[in-house]
Each structure stands twice: as structure tokens, then as C-alpha cells.
Amino acid sequence: MARIVMKFGGTSMAGTERIRRVAKIVQRQQAAGHEVAVVVSAMAGETDRLVNFSREASALYDPAEYDVVVASGEQVTSGLLAMHLQALGSKARSWLGWQLPVRTDDAHGSARIEAIDSDAVIASMQAGEIAVIPGFQGISPQGRITTLGRGGSDTSAVAVAAAVKADRCDIYTDVDGVYTTDPRIVAKARKLKNVTYEEMLELASVGSKVLQTRSVSLAMKEKVRVQVLSSFIDEDAPAADTLPGTMIVSDEELAKIQEGLDMERQLITGIAADKNDAKVILTAVPDRPGAVATIFGPLAAANINVDMIIQNVGRADTDTDVTFTVPQADLERTKAVLDENRPSIGYEKLSTDPKISKISVVGVGMRSHAGVAATMFKALADRGINIQAISTSEIKVSVLIDSDETELAVRLLHTAYGLDAA
């Protein structure tokens, strides 16, 4: 017997037929002898609709009331799923965020979970009742409803799994797992059986949008084993015990799994592409101590996230060029901040290029291997793809290229690292 938290996203909860299917999938886990809690999203599209109503009410809506409005989508689906489970003969009840409670801070619209009181829900699970918990919502220290930020129900599910000490947190979604790269770009992409938390964080933050990034950090911190799997399995498919999806685990667990399978660790686990950044170039910045601080201080103060940074060697030892990337959505604000601070920075010219793409190769296997970056540079060079910037970490090498070459680069690298499915 295991204790399992199951999470279903908006597509799985959109309408009576789908909720009934979810109820059957949940029931099968219980029938297999497990204790089950379910975390649900609002019906697909519902949260967007509620956000719009808030905007229409007032451009300067009260964030606390916004949370009252947008949290309601999950209240509806949790009640409905409990009804469907009951109709199928199971004991079930909903536990709203304020009832458990899921305690958060008071940052309305993007609250963080601080603690979840789990005694009551564990007792009810042990008594054979299925606990249905709306994702995305909690309660502030002032007793008001909060929400966790868009996509937050993944984080709710991981937090519940940690609180009830679940053996596993199964995230049912509209993809059937995590792939070596985007299967829409590379038809030969393979589904990964296992991926580590750190790899998942790198893959998620650079484009494989399967789970909310925050949920992966939380799973890593709380050591929650997370499985991503499809909610479109047919009802006769084997129970999730056979782990049909991708397991997200710690380095240690991965090492154990691979030892058991007598398998050599892949050098590279996956390749991600991200077209959401823009490049900013400042020419002829005075080359003196403190120069870059005058650039990045004001950007940080404006909450603009800078990613890759290159400072070129100065010309004639008096000035230098500084290149960096920011989210495209922040480009206009970035220009305004730099313009405003031009007197203290002292650059000559500001130019920008939104037509760039960041390609990353990710894998814990590269920790113990040299030559990963060289393989990447050579594969790109052989096809005449120009590298505009490079950054590395222990488990990742990223390069910046022209965005027109994104698909070509991902395909080349997928082949170069031997990731193509047979």
C-alpha cells in the first residue's frame, strides 16, 4: 500500500465527461489499495475568464478580491470531482484551501505556501475517504483567500504530497511525460523514464513547459518523487504503479535506478530552446571598476531578470562592450531604464536584437565528462551556425544564436549527442 497524491490539470477537468474519467482513474488507484488525495485545477480556460472579469472591473483591482474571484474555478472542480467519486460509490470530500488550511503569505496573486495542516486530511485518507483539494489556493495570515500565481496547482500538489508524506506525486497532464526535446521540433525525441530535479529545472526554465518551475524546486527541497504522466490513458491501461510517465527524482535515486538497470548514464539528458529573450548591446562603456554595477543595479531595481552576460575585452583599455539578455517582454522597460541611467553608465550606443534564441544542452552526466561543450560548438560550426554568447553551469551549456536557426540547431544537437530514437 502506498499513499499517493494525484494532480489533474485544466484540460482533464473540462466538463462532466472528463471529470467522470478522472474519477475512474482515481478510483482505480484506491481499488489497488492506496490512500489517495487528489489536487485539481480549474476547468481549462476558466482562470483566464475570471482574470478578465477582474480586469474589466477595474484596471487597479484589489489583489485580495482578485484572489477571491480567480480561486473560485478550483472550488467548482473540487466539488464536482467529489460528487463524481461519490456517484461511483467511493467515499470522498473536498477540502478547500481555507479548510485544510493551506497557509500562505499575504502576497496576493503570487502567494507562497508556508505550511499545510495535514492531520485531518491524513485521518480521512486512512479511513478510506478520497481527499479532493483545489489547487492554486490558500489562506493568508489575515484569514483571506490567496492564490499562488498562474500554473500554481502543480505547486499545490507537490506541497500536499510533502505535507501528507506521500510516496509519490503523480501529475496527470496533456503530455505523457518529459521528452529529450520538443517532439514538435524533433520527431525522434524520446520520452525520458527518469530525470533529476536539477535537470528538470534547467529544462523547464529554458522551454519545456510541463510543470510550473516552482513546483520542481519545492519537490527538490522536500524530496517529493514526482511523476508526470498523461491523463488521456484509456481506462483499461495498467495502473500508474507501473510508472508509465517520467519520474523526477534526486541524483541519488537516479544513480540507484541506473545501477539496477546496469545502464551507463547518458551524457546529455535533453535539449531545450528558448525564444523568449532579447539581446541588448551597450557599446563603449568606460572600462573601470564599478562600471557593470551601474548597468545591472538599476535593472535589478526595476525587477528585470538578466540572463546571459558577456563583457568584451576593452578597446585601447579605456572602454568595453557589454552584451546581455533580458526577457523580450521586458525589453521596452530595459531600454527606458538604460536610457535614464545613461549619464552614470556612460555608454556610447544602445542596440537591441529580439531575434535570438537560447539553446541549452542539459545533463547531470556532464559533471564527470569533459568535451560536452566542444561537441556542441563543433556541431553548430559544421553547419555554419554562429554563436553569439555562451554560458555554462555544472549541468548545462547554453548558447545564443539567431532565432531563425533554432529548429536546425536543436535537430543537429539531438543527433550529435546520440539522443535520436532508433
Torsion angle, alpha carbons of 396, 400, 403, 404, to 10:
-100
What minimum distance in Å lies between the beta carbon of 371 and Mg ion? 37
What minimum distance in Å lies between the beta carbon of 115 and ligand ASP? 20
Give dist(CA 44, CA 184) in Å, integer. Answer: 22
- Cβ closer to ligand ASP: 100 or 389? 100
**Binder of residue 207, out of ligand ASP, Mg ion, none (CB less than 5 to 8 A by kind):** none
Mask 105-144, x = binds Mg ion (CB under 5 A)? ----------------------------------------
**Binder of residue 136, out of ligand ASP, Mg ion, none (CB less than 5 to 8 A by kind):** ligand ASP
Q: Which helix (H) or strand (E) holds 251?
A: helix 251-260
Region 4-43 residues binding Mg ion, contact defined as CB under 5 A = 9
**Binder of residue 150, out of ligand ASP, Mg ion, none (CB less than 5 to 8 A by kind):** ligand ASP
What minimum distance in Å lies between the beta carbon of 152 and ligand ASP? 5
What minimum distance in Å lies between the beta carbon of 211 and Mg ion? 7
First to last CA, the chain: 37
Contact set with ligand ASP (CB under 6 A)? 10, 41-42, 47, 73, 135-136, 150-154
Give dist(CA 126, CA 203) in Å, integer. Answer: 37
Omega into 101 within 30° of 0, i.e. cis? yes
Residue 151 interacts with Mg ion (CB under 5 A): yes or no: yes
Cell numbers for 214, please give them: 516552482
Q: Which of 181, 167, 103, 87 is nearest to 137 (CA)?
A: 103
Cell numbers for 336, please give them: 527606458
Q: Which of 133, 36, 128, 37 is nearest to 91 (CA)?
A: 128
Residue 152 interacts with Mg ion (CB under 5 A): yes or no: no
What minimum distance in Å lies between the beta carbon of 28 and ligand ASP? 23
- Cβ closer to Mg ion: 9 or 138? 9
- Cβ closer to ligand ASP: 96 or 280? 96
Residue 17 near residue 180, CB atoms below 8 Å: no
- Cβ closer to Mg ion: 72 or 213? 213
What minimum distance in Å lies between the beta carbon of 43 and ligand ASP? 9
- Cβ closer to ligand ASP: 29 or 173? 173
- Cβ closer to Mg ion: 210 or 412? 210
10 Å Cβ neighbour count for 47?
A: 24
- Cβ closer to ligand ASP: 158 or 359? 158
Cβ-count burial 260-293 (b if 16+ within 10 Å, e if not): eeeeeebbbbbbbbbebbbbbbbbbbebeeebbe
Residues that bind Mg ion (CB under 5 A): 9, 151
